[in-house]
Amino acid sequence: MVKYVIMIHSNPQPWGHPTSDYLPDYQVMPDEQRERLNADFEAMLADLREKGELLGGEALGAPESSRLYRWSDGKPLVTDGPYSEAKEHLAGFFLVDVDSQERAEEIAARFAGPGETVELRPAMWPGGSDQ
Amino acid sequence: MTAQVVEDVWRQESAHVLAALLHRYGDLGDCEDAAQEAAEAAARQWDRDGVPDNPRGWLIRVASRRVIDRMRTDDARTARENALSAALPSDAHLSQAAGRSPHDEADDTLRLSLLCCHPSLSRSSQVALTLHAVGGLSTAQIAAAYLVPERTMTQRLTRARSTLRAAGAVFTLPARADLPARIAAVLDVCHLMFTEGHTRSTGDALVDSPLAEEAIRLTRQLHSVVPDHDEVAGALALMLLTHARAAARTEDGNLVPLAEQNRSRWDHRRIAEGVRILERVLPRGHVGRFQLQAAIAAVHAEAESWEGTDWRQITLLYAMLARVAPSPAVTLNQAVAVGMAFGPEDGLALLGPLLDDPVTRRHHRTHAVRAHLMEMTGDLPGALDSYRQAARLTASQPEQRYLNARIGRLVAT
């Protein structure tokens, strides 16, 4: 089994969850289509949970609500967020534990949606081969 | 009396208790739950009164009552209850069942393993269920071994049992024609379990996950049930020969590659046993992938050093393995062996297709092997590039540390 983090980079305006409610790409969609996408997403999460593949996840507060700790003169220097000037910010993450890279990619693809970037990163594991 | 005694008895008896229940009640979910409750009752009562003369009979009796209680209280199962109450076994009948012959017991172990590795289940469910039902590990122990929360593991086990129920999987031996494929699935599960445990082993009993030892125990059991199955014997030999290196494969938490291991720290008793099994099975004819991998491990085990290894023999074995079970991992190992036997350029030539393929190009080992072979040719900048690429791509912390150390050494020269 291999662990992966699925990160959702997004820029909802105003910041809010589910991010799709606050993204222009979703707002132009007919209600029916938007509801179907939301229902599909909920069904997928339920399926991952039921299979024991979803280990956890959180939706994150607005980038401006973050506090940044940088090291300066031998002590932490605290400033207000956002951390990055990039257009998109980390909006939430999911931790999954799956059989293979292929399965992780299949799941990550289903997290993708209009106006957002999904990042799939493997978690490091404590073992290794001596070959 | 300590909890350890109860645990030892449980590990010894759980599969047999479960088998006895399955013979009567059929449903793995119900039987496992009841067996678990019996184990908990044993922990309480044996601590007070001591271990009974026939612990297995005791466990079966208590668990049987639990299965029946459970079915009685479950309204949705009224129909099954009616069928069952007619067949309610007497205590005498149960004690008799507890003393079944060794032949029946072997059959039970096989049946139970086959049920847990039923084709309706995903590989990871098969592994979890086998560890729980055949190995007698608790949900908490399995969750810890796989570094997931206990509730996730409970979820996986519950789902696996309901999948079995939906598939109508039963506790009987499959048709003779299906048996080889079904045993092969059990073997794959044991081998996967072994690999997951061994690659995390540190040679330290306090830190090690129980998976590798459990896989060896289960494969040994399977081997004693089907001694004529050559690949079961091969897999057992492979595990013994590979895990013999456990104590030497890390030092201060750092990974030590086979080439640099202190071979005096290898477990020579296990090596001897692995070699003995191989010598018995190899002449029989059909040589499958586990036997070939075991033969390669045996050549390594018998060499006094990396350089002094019979690399030509190993290249021959890899060529056979590449025909029987081709895979990128086999090509990579073959490239290392060819590089050692005939020179690094020959090894590098084998890597070409793997570097062109968009999937294997993203595997860190493709680049680690390339780096190693380029270092042998004296192309240090090329080796450095490949080590860096490998270190970026690996998801293994110890391997990354090793590759970074290698990079540090090359940069310093």
pLDDT of residue B1: 55
Look up residue B123 and give its two tokens: 């590989």
CATH number of A2-122: 3.30.70.1060
> A27 by DSSP, 3-state: which?
helix
Nearest CA in chain B to A100: B124
Look up residue A108 and give its two tokens: 């990550």
Asked whether the beta carbons of B55 and B42 are under 8 A apart, the reply is: yes
Asked whether the beta carbons of B17 and B63 are under 8 A apart, the reply is: yes
Asked whether the beta carbons of B371 and B386 are under 8 A apart, the reply is: yes
Q: How far apart are CA A61 and CA A92, in angstroms?
A: 9
Nearest CA in chain B to A124: B395
Q: Where are the domains of chain A?
A: 2-122
CATH number of B315-413: 1.25.40.10
CB neighbour class for A32 (10 Å; exposed up to 12, middle 13-18, buried from 19):
exposed
pLDDT of residue B70: 79
Residue-by-residue pLDDT tens, chain B, 413 positions:
567 888 888 888 888 999 999 988 888 888 998 998 998 899 888 888 888 989 999 999 999 999 888 777 765 555 554 555 444 444 444 444 555 676 777 788 889 999 999 999 998 899 999 999 998 888 999 998 888 999 999 999 999 999 999 998 888 888 888 888 999 999 999 999 999 999 988 777 666 778 999 999 999 999 998 898 999 999 999 999 999 999 999 998 889 999 999 999 999 999 999 999 999 999 988 899 999 999 999 999 999 999 999 999 999 999 999 999 999 999 999 999 999 999 999 999 999 999 999 999 999 999 999 999 999 999 999 999 999 999 999 999 999 999 999 999 999 87
B192 in contact with A, Cβ within 8 Å: no
Determine which helix (DSSP H) or strand (DSSP E) holds B392, and give its type and residue range: helix B380-393
Count Cβ atoms below 10 Å from residue A1 Cβ, excluding itself: 21
Burial B185-213 (b: 16+ CB within 10 A, else e): bbbbbbbbbbbbbbbbbbbeeeebbbbbb
When CB atoms are compared, the residue of A52, A124, A130 closest to B249 is: A130
Q: Where are the domains of chain B?
A: 1-100, 315-413
Cβ within 8 Å, pair A99-B123: yes
CA angle B132, B267, B313 (to 5 degrees): 105
Which of B120, B125, B148 to probe by mutation at the A interface, max A CB count within 10 Å?
B148
User: Measured between beta carbons, which residues in chain B are less than 8 angstroms from residue A131?
Assistant: 257-258, 333, 336
A102 in contact with B, Cβ within 8 Å: no
pLDDT of residue B353: 95
Cβ within 8 Å, pair B155-A1: no
* pLDDT tens figures, A41-71: 999 999 999 999 999 999 999 999 999 999 9
Q: A7 has which bridge partners?
A: A93, A119
DSSP B396: B
A105 in contact with B, Cβ within 8 Å: no
φ, ψ (nearest 5 deg) of residue A2? -130, 140
ipTM score of the complex? 0.87
φ, ψ (nearest 5 deg) of residue A83? -70, -40
- Residues comprising chain B, all counted: 413
Interface of A with B in 40-69 (CB under 8 A): 49-52, 55
Asked whether the beta carbons of B194 and B129 are under 8 A apart, the reply is: no
A78 half-sphere exposure, CB direction, 13 A CA radius: 3
> Measured in whole angstroms, how far is the alpha carbon of residue A70 from the centre of its chain?
24
Spatial neighbors of B193 by CB under 8 A, at least 6 apart, are B127, B130, B131, B211, B212, B214, B215, B218
Cis link prior to B227 (omega < 30° from 0)? no
Which of B396, B401, B403, B404 to probe by mutation at the A interface, max A CB count within 10 Å?
B396
DSSP B172: S
